[in-house]
Amino acid sequence: MFRPDQLIRLAAAHSWLICRILFALYLCVLTVMDIRRKRLNLAFLLSGFLLVAAGIFAARQIHPLLLLTGGGVGLVFFVTSKVTGEAFGYGDSLLILIMGSFLGFWDILSLLTAAFLLAAVFSAVMLVESTFGRKTAFPFVPFLAIAYTGGMIFGMY
């Protein structure tokens, strides 16, 4: 059995891993929310900034400018949401801002590439099966969660 001081040292030594796992769980809850209700709870979504703060204080070697520019990618998506009349939802944009602030610029770009690729394959399959029409909306958070989890498993994040 571990003593409390040993647990604290163990948690401190693996703080970034713990943050990544908690972030994956956070994304899983958001995925269920997005699939079931097609809406994200704003209070829960904003709680992701606590994980961002924890990630900043974890023993991680990343330049703060990369974290800021990663969050800036989310701001680009906010503008996209506004211009397209929320064809890409504000909740998705806020989540991308949180994820970018958590991962950094280069990692959020690779994650978004994977997520959009997964969404494109899903859309193509649904169009071929005539399940979707060209204007059908579907939740995007599951693709972000799959891309994040896959990247985490393969050691990218």
DSSP 3-state of 10: helix
pLDDT at res. 95: 97
pLDDT at res. 54: 94
Q: Which residues of the chain have pLDDT under 70?
A: 1, 59
Domain ranges of the chain: 4-153
pLDDT at res. 40: 94
Please tell me the distance from the alpha carbon of residue 127 to that of residue 1, in angstroms, as a whole number.
Answer: 54
pLDDT at res. 79: 94
pLDDT at res. 1: 67
Distances (CA, A) of 35 to 4, 7, 25, 38, 57: 39, 36, 15, 6, 32
Q: Can you give the pTM of this predicted structure? A: 0.91
